[in-house]
Each structure stands twice: as structure tokens, then as C-alpha cells.
Amino acid sequence: MANRPAKPNKVPTNHRKVAVIGSGPAGLSCAGDLAQRGYEVTIFEALHVPGGVLMYGIPEFRLPKALVQKEINNLRQMGVDIQTNMVIGKIYALDELMELGYEAIFIGSGAGLPSFMRIPGENLNGVYSANEFLTRINLMKAYQFPSSDTPVKVGRRVAVVGGGNVAMDAARCAKRLGADEVTIIYRRSEAEMPARIEEVHHAREEGIIFRLLTNPTRILGTDSGWVRAVECVEMELGEADSSGRRRPVVKKGSEFQIEIDTIVIAIGTSPNPLIKSTTPGLETQRWGGIIVDEATMATSKEGVYAGGDAVTGAATVILAMGAGKTAAQAIDDYLNKKHQADG
């Protein structure tokens, strides 16, 4: 995205239509590169605002939304049509997009399906997935409630479960929304934390409490169904597991409770199965990642390409943008060859 001219021009059309599903960094970079080559690109975005995680996940204090907005405006100036509130797999299936005249499709639908711990109490009020918590804050401006439509309950004491960048963002947002005590609960030690060192550093600087080698076993509620505490066990590190990280093992008799008002679960996400389940012939990994040829990002279905978190699982902005660019090149090659063969 960053290497495009400051004032993008609309390139003369080659009259070939390409559909891009999802407007995160993968979809935006693919759409931009295709528009620069003269393609008529339509982005179909499920949410009411384009930008993907850049808009709904990463907080304003780390990524100003005006920067993302500028990039999206540039794409519109280049002629990219961005249609929001369009859930592909519900409104149109991929085959229907092809019938509408799209000659190729890029799937950049991300990995927005949150994982839960499957412990008792996860359905209590006051339990959020990190995605929901951050979306309420970043996209729906819940901190302005009631002048915004969406509320968010933060409370005085917040627990965030997980040790990645998403957990750090959720914890720092909770602090900014006025929580007195925000505790990160992570089952391994700091050395195994997947979050970047600087994110952990910022969180510590802002007063976030770290309960390491600690694992939640149960969320406890009030009579009216709201969270009141989380029960945890202490862990110690055993032998290395298949990921090379030392496996956390429960310390017998170490149960204890932390009193909380809200708990945010930030233990990972996977691709939403909607597109897979409505697209015959689209092969995926068992965990949901779309299988592609890494050189071209071509999927098992002719004319359909994919990239970003929808392929890799939760990864990075740079990787998603790179995948979008690789796919744009491959789509251009594919359609040029197809049209040459058709004469």
C-alpha cells in the first residue's frame, strides 16, 4: 500500500472485473495493485466500515485510523468500488460472483473467529472475546456510549487471558477506559509470550499486572449472571511440546481466585468457515486455513486466489499485504493467459 503515488490516478480500464473479499491489508493491497493494472475491482466487505483489523482491532493509540482512511480514499480515487455490509457466503456465493462477471476472485477474509477456553462460566455476562471487546471500542466507539449506539462493560477489575499482541491491546484499552486493575493471565512464562517485547514493555509501563504461569479453570458469576471472579491454577513448565515450547503443567492444590468485573479472552482466532462451507471445491486445512500455492496464492478452485490471515491464520499486516500483492500479480498473469487463449 505504501509504495503507491501520493495522488493516485485512475488507470484506463481493461474491462476485466475482479472481486476482492475482505478489506483488510490483504484485500486492500490486492485491490490497489489490480486497479493500477486497469482492472475493475470491487471489494466486498462484511462490516459497515472497510479496513479489517486495521480499523476494528488495532487501537487508535497504536494505529491512527485517519492513516487507514487515507489509504482507503486513495483506492476509491483509483476507481476501486468498496461495497460494505456484504457478507460473501450469505449474500453471494463465490460461484454467483463468477456468474455476475467477475473473472477472478481474491479471498482476504482474515481470521476473525475467536477461540474460547471451553471452561465453565464462559457464557456469563461480562465475558468478551478480544475481537468483540476491541470492535466495540475501536469501531463502535463504545467509550462514547450513550452518544454511540454500542456499550461496553469494563468495570473496575479486568482480566485478559492470553500472552499475544491482541491481549496486550485489550489490556491497554481496558486501562484507558478507566479500569483500576487490569491483569494479564498467561499460562506459560514471559519467555514464551508470543507478544512483541515492546508491547509487553508498554503494557507493564502502563501498570498492567502480569499473572504468569497461571491458567483459568472456571469463571464464577453472581446470582444475576454477571462475572464476579475467575478461578485459576498455578502452572510450572515441563518438557518441551511439539512447538518447542516447554509445556505448562498444573501445580497440584494451587487453586485461587481473582475478583473481576470483566474478562477478555485473547487466546487466538481462526478463519471463519462461512466461505469454505459455501464454496464447493475450495480446499482448506483442518483448522480452516485456505490451502494455496505459495508462489501464486492460487487456491484449489480455478480463478480463485487467497491470502493473509485467511490462509496463514492470525499473522501480520506485512505478510497479509505481501500475499495480496503476490495474488494481484498472479491474477493478472492468469487473466492475460486466459484472454490470449480465448483469442
Ligand X SMILES: Cc1cc2nc3c(=O)[nH]c(=O)nc-3n(C[C@H](O)[C@H](O)[C@H](O)COP(=O)(O)OP(=O)(O)OC[C@H]3O[C@@H](n4cnc5c(N)ncnc54)[C@H](O)[C@@H]3O)c2cc1C
Task: Write down the least CB distance from residue 68 to ligand X, Å.
Answer: 10
- For residue 162, state whether it binds ligand X (rule: CB under 6 A): no
Place of cell 518441551: 240
In the range 246-275, which residues lie near ligand X by CB under 6 A? 272, 274-275
Distance of CA 130 to the CA centre of its chain: 10
CA 144 to CA 226: how far, in whole Å? 23
Interface residue with ligand X among 8, 25, 32, 114 (CB under 6 A) is 25
Task: Write down the least CB distance from residue 100 to ligand X, Å.
Answer: 15
- For residue 134, state whether it binds ligand X (rule: CB under 6 A): yes
Task: Write down the least CB distance from residue 340 to ligand X, Å.
Answer: 31
Task: Write down the least CB distance from residue 328 to ligand X, Å.
Answer: 13
In the range 315-334, which residues lie near ligand X by CB under 6 A? 315-318, 320
Task: Write down the least CB distance from residue 225 to ligand X, Å.
Answer: 27
- For residue 32, state whether it binds ligand X (rule: CB under 6 A): no
Task: Write down the least CB distance from residue 32 to ligand X, Å.
Answer: 13
- For residue 45, state whether it binds ligand X (rule: CB under 6 A): yes
Nearer CB in complex with ligand X: 110/163: 110
- For residue 163, state whether it binds ligand X (rule: CB under 6 A): no
Site string for ligand X, 276-315 (x = CB under 6 A): --------------------------------xxx---xx
Which chain residues interact with ligand X by CB under 6 A?
A: 21-27, 44-47, 52-53, 57-58, 86-89, 108-110, 112, 134, 165-166, 169, 272, 274-275, 308-310, 314-318, 320
